[in-house]
Amino acid sequence: MNSQQANMEELNTLYLGDCLTEMRKIRPNSIDLIYLDPPFFTEKKHSLKNRDGSTTFSFNDIWGDQESYALFLHERLLVMRDLLSDTGSIFVHCDKSANHIVRALLDAVFGAENFQSEIIWHYKRWSNAKKGLLPSHQNIYFFSKTKNFKFRKVFTAYSDATNLDQILQRRTRNKDNKSVYARDANGKIEIGDAKQGVPLNDVWDIPYLNPKAKERVGYPTQKPLLLLDRIIELVTDEDDVVLDPFCGSGTSCVAAKLLKRRYLGIDQSEDAINLAQSRLQAPVKTDSALLTKGRDSFAKQDSVILECLKGLAFNPVNRNQGIDAILIEQFENTPVLVKVQKSDETLAEAATRLLKAASKKGSKRVFLVQTLIDLNDLPPSRDNIDMIVIQTPSVQIQARSLA
Amino acid sequence: MNSQQANMEELNTLYLGDCLTEMRKIRPNSIDLIYLDPPFFTEKKHSLKNRDGSTTFSFNDIWGDQESYALFLHERLLVMRDLLSDTGSIFVHCDKSANHIVRALLDAVFGAENFQSEIIWHYKRWSNAKKGLLPSHQNIYFFSKTKNFKFRKVFTAYSDATNLDQILQRRTRNKDNKSVYARDANGKIEIGDAKQGVPLNDVWDIPYLNPKAKERVGYPTQKPLLLLDRIIELVTDEDDVVLDPFCGSGTSCVAAKLLKRRYLGIDQSEDAINLAQSRLQAPVKTDSALLTKGRDSFAKQDSVILECLKGLAFNPVNRNQGIDAILIEQFENTPVLVKVQKSDETLAEAATRLLKAASKKGSKRVFLVQTLIDLNDLPPSRDNIDMIVIQTPSVQIQARSLA
DNA sequence: ACGGGAACTGAATCGGAAC
DNA sequence: AGTTCCGATTCAGTTCCCG
């Protein structure tokens, strides 16, 4: 860290130190989102070893009384308020140990009128030792600086029990001022505007970090990337600035980086800063893969490529860039190859790979399944290979809709 | 009510009045469970008409400032503490409006060491246009009088992801002292004792009292019986005494009665007491299809459908023979419907069903996804519906191969 | 700029009609 | 007779508008 710096203008950096002093170097009104995961007032010392056992990360969460905890948080929240831009928001993570204290402090600093939501992060856990209910949630308080806060509406699927047919119908009021469905002159039901889905609610069911997850870096109380992902997307745009004053292993910074936001992280522990630093450099790729996978499974859209070929008699081919399946029935005594376009390749790339494989296998007929809309030209065929491009239903529907 | 009574020894009764004064008539240490659903500090007046419109029930939840609300609740909680037996518990219902105040008061009156759980009651509710997240939970604070509180462990069903077969299998140790599944003389895996399930956690997904539910009596903010069932079963035995100092329409008393517990209800409103009284005569409980069958029973979409539509912006439609999805983008201000042919229907049947649905919805364009080879003719279109048939990749490939 | 009341929203269930 | 499907009903909803 360059001590010459008048303020922390340099973004995408991690700073070592107490956030109270470090934050004072940041320009007021310059931050779009503050996420913080401070000590929870558990009255315990938390420590955990990393995978190879070389480093033990720990932090102290023993305070003796509520007042010292409240004081600690309060003076820091006051600084945070100044840093936040007028369209900015703050998300404070805590749990049952002190959520009422945190909420009261936030009310005092940001004003009860700027309270937006109590988000419940719900996860499943495996344990049954204790008398009582199994704790399986944490609380996140969402406050905005002003009522003019930035918010990007997110929509989710309708409930399975919802009668979607009816949702489409336009509403009106009858002569008794009662809300009813609108009908035209012929008594036929009128259809209303397009529906986008159900607005995201305040209870988030996101899996806790699996003990064996690759994502796990050995830092105690590490949060899932998916949680931060969602928070960041909710209240920031690209290039906005995210500050995490208790960044720990740097999950929020990693999420910000993956989502093309700028970030600032602060932590008191040198070990934590080093860990976060290294996470931000190399493993962004693995994090990115995890995020994609997480999002997919979240949306329940995980799919098998071969689903496209369901109903056909074929042998699946694994670990071959050019081929996904070979049909059991041959064409003019040559194997019929099938390739499905992957989400990270253009149709032209897929075609080139398929043609190369076909040439090698001496195939006379191959099928390329297009899974993404793409208007570029295909490479010319070669070796008299008959390449037939077919489209998945969604591509066909999209093509028609665009027309 | 008999004013001669020195205390409220007479159980299974409802009392009209302010609970502060009424509760003083109850013998200390005589109550096993106190459930209360006080005003939430919403700063609104709540009122609602019953079904036939004959009575309007209402209560006032306007306080002006937090202090008067806190004072009101505090003096009543102090009395409640005295009434509770040493093995007793108190459950206080509130929401984001003042959960931090309620929690702080409970900490003060019952002691932070007797805090047991913050229960999150999560439900899906009809939404409305709002900037921010859709509120969909309320908070229930569970405190015990002493650490020696009564608690009956409740187990819930395993999640779908759990391999239930495996859990049921009896385990033993092999000669290397490794844990393995037990097998009988024939090498068949033995089934072990029934497992009890997963211990109940602190986030409860219970359907909101539906607008159409028979259980509804017209009282504002009425709670579902199921919620009270669960609380009562958790911390009381048969014949134990349940007190609800803000009983309103008497849901807690009805639940207690149905579960063979004794009850005492208090409310300020004569209308409420009358209503609760009559409910206790003929209790009605909604048989929630969601709960008895489970959410999963509704959908379980064919994976083929999801695969066909992957990449499209759509709302899935469940339990409708004619439609599987509605695209979010409309066509000439009419909804675009999509149907995927099922394995047990011919293309013609699928088309007929789709056209019928389209006609009703006034759709001008629909997509039918063909998943099976079929050479029969389609029914003629009707009502000027533009029906576009598209084929899955496997159908296209098969069609080509047959040629 | 506010506080308060009127106006309006929209999806999630259940219940019962339709098949 | 058992499913499937459709419509009623609601507002611990919100927003807007006016004084």
Here the CATH number for the domain that contains residue A16 is 3.40.50.150
Q: What percent of chain A has pLDDT over 90?
A: 50
- A204 in Cβ contact with A234 (< 8 Å): no
What number of other Cβ atoms are within 10 A of residue B219's Cβ?
25
pLDDT confidence of residue A186: 72
Nearest C-alpha of chain A: how many angstroms from B61?
17
Say whether residue B5 is in contact with chain A using an 8 A CB cutoff.
no
Domain boundary among A281, A306, A340: A281
Half-sphere exposure of B16 (CA within 13 A, CB side): 12
Domain membership of residue B186 (yes or no) is: no
- A353's enclosing H/E stretch is helix A347-361
User: What are the Cα distances from residue A283, in Å, to A202, A251, A267?
Assistant: 31, 12, 20
pLDDT higher for B88 or B186?
A: B88
Three-class DSSP category at A144: strand
Domain membership of residue A390 (yes or no) is: yes
Of the ranges A48-57, B28-37, B171-180, B375-384, which one carries the lowest mean pLDDT score? B171-180
Q: What is the CA radius of gyration of chain B?
A: 29
User: For A311, which of B115, B315, B371 is closest by C-beta distance?
Assistant: B371
**What's the number of domains chain B is made of?**
2
Of the ranges A49-63, A179-193, A242-256, B220-234, which one carries the lowest mean pLDDT score? A179-193
A300 pLDDT band, cuts 50/70/90, is very low
Instruction: Evaluate if the CB of A159 falls below 7 Å from strand D.
Output: no
Domain membership of residue B185 (yes or no) is: no
Burial class (CB in 10 A: 0-12, 13-18, 19+), A298: middle
Q: What percent of chain B has pLDDT over 90?
A: 47
pLDDT confidence of residue B186: 60
Domain boundary among A254, A281, A308: A281
Say whether residue B175 is in contact with chain A using an 8 A CB cutoff.
no
- B171 in Cβ contact with B180 (< 8 Å): yes
Q: What is the CA radius of gyration of chain A?
A: 27
B81 and B150 part of one domain: yes
* Per-residue H/E/C for chain B: CCCCCCCCCCCCEEEECCHHHHHCCCCCCCEEEEEECCCCCCCEEEEEECCCCCCEEEEEECCCCHHHHHHHHHHHHHHHHHHEEEEEEEEEEECCCCHHHHHHHHHHHHCHHHEEEEEEEECCCCCCCCCCCECCEEEEEEEECCCCCCCCCCEECCCCCCCHHHHHECEEECCCCCEEECECCCCCECECCCCCCEECECEEECCCCCCCCCCCCCCCCCCCHHHHHHHHHHHCCCCCEEEECCCCCCHHHHHHHHCCCEEEEEECCHHHHHHHHHHHHCCCCCCCHHHHHCHHHCCCCCHHHHHHHCCCCEEECCCCCCCCEEECCCECCECCEEEECCCCCCHHHHHHHHHHHHHHHCCCEEEEEECCCCCCCCCCCCCCCEEEEEECHHHHHHHHHHC
pLDDT confidence of residue B60: 86
- B145 in Cβ contact with B116 (< 8 Å): no
Instruction: Evaluate if the CB of B129 falls below 7 Å from strand D.
Output: yes
Give, in Å, how far the C1' of D14 lies from the CA of A238. 29
Residue that is written with structure tokens 């009562």 in the block = B232
Range of A23-27, B180-184, B336-340 with top mean pLDDT: A23-27
B370 and B276 part of one domain: no
A301 and A277 part of one domain: no
B164 pLDDT band, cuts 50/70/90, is very low
The tokens for B233 are 């079963």
Query: Above 50 in pLDDT, residue B163?
Result: no
Range of B2-6, B170-174, B399-403 with top mean pLDDT: B399-403
Write out chain A residues lying below 8 Å of B333, CB-based.
191
Domain boundary among A234, A254, A281: A281
Query: Above 60 in pLDDT, residue B188?
Result: no
B263 and B319 part of one domain: no
Q: What percent of chain B has pLDDT over 70?
A: 84
Domain membership of residue A182 (yes or no) is: no
**A390 vs B393: CB contact, 8 Å cut-off?**
yes
A277 and A303 part of one domain: no
- Mean of pLDDT values over B89-93: 98
Q: How far apart are CA B246 and CA A176, in angstroms?
A: 34
Domain membership of residue B189 (yes or no) is: no
Q: How far apart are CA A12 and CA B349, in angstroms?
A: 59
B327 and B210 part of one domain: no
Say whether residue B367 is in contact with chain A using an 8 A CB cutoff.
yes
B159 pLDDT band, cuts 50/70/90, is very low
Q: Which residues pair with A121 in a beta bridge?
A: A138, A204
Residue at the smallest CA–C1' distance to nucleotide D3 = B319
B16 and B119 part of one domain: yes
- Mean of pLDDT values over A135-164: 91
Instruction: Evaluate if the CB of A147 falls below 7 Å from strand C.
Output: no
- Mean of pLDDT values over A316-335: 84
B339 and B384 part of one domain: yes
- Distance, CA of A28 to chain centre: 28
pLDDT confidence of residue A4: 36
Of the ranges A365-379, B294-308, B389-403, which one carries the lowest mean pLDDT score? B294-308
Domain membership of residue B218 (yes or no) is: yes
A86 and A233 part of one domain: yes
Q: Which tens digit of pLDDT belongs to each residue from B129-147?
A: 788 999 999 999 999 999 9
Q: Residue B48 phi/psi, 5° resolution?
A: -155, 145
Instruction: Evaluate if the CB of A158 falls below 7 Å from strand C.
Output: yes
A274 and A300 part of one domain: no
- Mean of pLDDT values over B252-278: 95
Give, in Å, how far the C1' of D6 lies from the CA of A166. 8
Domain membership of residue B165 (yes or no) is: no
- Mean of pLDDT values over A178-191: 74
Parent domain of A23: 3-156+200-281
Question: What DSSP state is assigned to residue A129?
Answer: -
Please give the angle made by the CA atoms of A45, A51 and A52, to the nearest 5 degrees. Answer: 110
B13 and B146 part of one domain: yes
Which nucleotide's C1' atom has the smallest distance to the CA of B44? D12
A136 and A32 part of one domain: yes
Domain membership of residue B171 (yes or no) is: no
Q: Which residues pair with B30 in a beta bridge?
A: none
Q: State how beta strands A386-391 and A365-370 pair.
A: parallel
Say whether residue B270 is in contact with chain A using an 8 A CB cutoff.
no
**A191 vs B361: CB contact, 8 Å cut-off?**
yes
**A134 vs B202: CB contact, 8 Å cut-off?**
yes
Q: How far apart are CA B352 and CA B341, in angstroms?
A: 11
**B200 vs A133: CB contact, 8 Å cut-off?**
yes
Query: Above 60 in pLDDT, residue B179?
Result: no
B106 pLDDT band, cuts 50/70/90, is very high
Could you report how far apart the first and last alpha carbons of chain B are, in Å? 89
pLDDT confidence of residue B193: 47
